[in-house]
Chains A and B, each alone.
Chain A
Amino acid sequence: QQQVKQSPQSLIVQKGGISIINCAYENTAFDYFPWYQQFPGKGPALLITIRPDVSEKKEGRFTISFNKSAKQFSLHIMDSQPGDSATYFCAASMRNDYKLSFGAGTTVTVRA
């Protein structure tokens, strides 16, 4: 049973557009929400993280929004560039748990 649901499965956006990926979770004990980025042929790498006491976090063109009451969080990629074309995974875990629960992934394609 997947503990983190992610959508859409894939999206195509024009260069300069906004990519939006949504995730939802059920376990209210989750308190750490990272996003990983994976380029073709490579391993996933940490992109950005957020904790539930923060509603928004921005790093460059990447912004995470967090809605604790709705148990949802999302990644916005502003001014999307062809180099952002990758698969993005949301994830969640509990502070004292070694297990990171991943969403199913979203493949983003940015057209020039």
Chain B
Amino acid sequence: DTAVSQTPKYLVTQMGNDKSIKCEQNLGHDTMYWYKQDSKKFLKIMFSYNNKELIINETVPNRFSPKSPDKAHLNLHINSLELGDSAVYFCASSSAGGAETQYFGPGTRLLVL
């Protein structure tokens, strides 16, 4: 059983398109996250939800919109994709706040052409 799953695994699209990435966790965790990992492997937190409530919203362009339909799902919708959005996007979950282990998904590799 996969603890944190993401779809799709790869996403290749043209500039200006709108795309979504889905994330599901079956760990029963209350908190979910979206991270962006750039080509230099730097991990940057984008958003975090706790019990479907947005608790972290870093300085991310408002073209990025997270949605949490329930505690087990956190989706990321990106409007008007730009070249600089090319990266690996990781979803993660944890049972609570900062002092708890975060479990990462396998990542979605987004390439904007």
Contact = CB atoms under 8 A, between A and B. Distances in A.
Interface of A: 31-32, 34, 38, 41-46, 49, 87, 89, 93-100, 102, 104-105, 107
Contacts of A34: 101
A100 B43 CA distance: 10
A43 B90 contact: yes
Given A32-B98, A34-B101, A45-B103, 15 more contacts: A32-B99, A42-B106, A43-B92, A43-B104, A44-B104, A46-B101, A49-B101, A93-B97, A94-B98, A95-B98, A98-B50, A100-B98, A104-B40, A104-B41, A105-B41
27 contacts: A31-B99, A34-B101, A42-B107, A43-B4, A43-B92, A43-B105, A46-B102, A89-B43, A93-B98, A93-B99, A94-B98, A96-B97, A96-B98, A97-B97, A97-B98, A98-B31, A98-B50, A98-B55, A98-B56, A98-B97, A99-B45, A100-B45, A104-B40, A104-B42, A105-B41, A105-B42, A107-B41
Counting chain B CB atoms within 10 Å of each CB, which of A45, A94, A100, A102 scores highest?
Answer: A100
B23 to A, nearest CB: 11
Interface residues of B, number: 23
Contacts, number: 63
A99 B56 contact: yes
Contacts of B43: 44, 89, 102, 105
Interface string B41-70: 111010010100001100000000000000
Contacts of A46: 101-103
Nearest to A33: B99
Contacts of B106: 41-43
A95 to B, nearest CB: 5
B98 A87 contact: no
Nearest to A93: B98
B99 A95 contact: yes
A102 B45 CA distance: 9
A99 B48 contact: yes
Contacts of A93: 97-99
Nearest to A101: B45
